[in-house]
Amino acid sequence: MAASVLASDFTNIAGEVRRIEAAGADWFHLDIMDGHFVDNISFGPAMVAAVKKCTALPVDVHLMIERPEHYFGRFQGADNITIHVEIAGDVAGTLRAIRASGRTAGLALSPDTPFEKVEPFLGGIDLLLVMTVRPGFGGQKFMPETLEKITAAAEWQRRHSREFLIEVDGGINTETAALAAGLGASVMVAGTSVFAAPDAAEAIRSLRVPS
Ligand code: DX5
Ligand code: ZN
């Protein structure tokens, strides 16, 4: 369960990270948006460093930016870095560079991008991020039409005997986590449903063992 910091109270980031870690999160997920690749600006390397200082949990950085090959090295403290397949640059080369820097490498695809677009890169990734909303904002509604890409990814792994984590991101709550997990997703990113829950520990439990 990867808690998306975008949904936290930025006036108290240390307290929020400690609260959600104590509630049982496994990873922290940080959404980096540059106002070009997506129509929003979130935060940058300083926020990743601040979160890293407050937790021993793995930090999962989701780059929704142009030129990730140029910027990824600045995210000190990132354990995994995920780039989007829709970028204009060299996807395979950037994934290789991320791995060469000692981090794991993730590849994300937006809802309008067909599974076939990521296929050429699946041999060189640690994680596939199937976006279940259009990237750019927290608090959006889960798009069920994205589910078939989880099935396609799980089938691809079986056919090729290769393994990578399948992560879903956007509109994840108890119900949608159960749908995604049933098809083969194992990493649930959740922002709103965890940070805004009256009982964060209960919200996290309900994602981990979907009822
Ligand atoms: C959207 C981000 C998500 C977002 C999820 O572009 O990639 O990580 O924070 O937020 P919720 O869980 O509120 O949909
Ligand atoms: Zn994200």
Q: Which residues belong to the active site?
A: 31, 169
Nearest-angstrom CA–CA distance, 48 and 2:
14
Given this model, what pLDDT does residue 209 score?
A: 66
Judge if the beta carbon of residue 139 lies within 6 A of ligand 1.
yes
Residue 121 corresponds to which tokens in the numbers above? Answer: 């890169």
Nearest-angstrom CA–CA distance, 118 and 137:
23
| Domains of the chain: residue spans and CATH | 2-207 (3.20.20.70)
Judge if the beta carbon of residue 140 lies within 6 A of ligand 1.
yes
Q: Are 166 and 185 in contact (CB under 8 A)?
A: yes
Residue 163 corresponds to which tokens in the numbers above? Answer: 């393994």
Ligand nearest to the CA of 172: 1
Helix (H, G, I), strand (E, B) or coil at 33: strand
The protein residue whose alpha carbon is closest to atom 10 in ligand 1 is 138
What count of Cα atoms within 13 Å lies in the side-chain half-sphere of residue 10? 8
Q: Note the residue count of the chain.
A: 211
Instruction: Return per-residue pLDDT of the chain as tens, 211 residues.
Output: 999 999 999 999 999 999 999 999 999 999 999 999 999 999 999 999 999 999 999 999 999 999 999 999 999 999 999 999 999 999 999 999 999 999 999 999 999 999 999 999 999 999 999 999 999 999 999 999 999 999 999 999 999 999 999 999 999 999 999 999 999 999 999 999 999 999 999 999 999 965 5
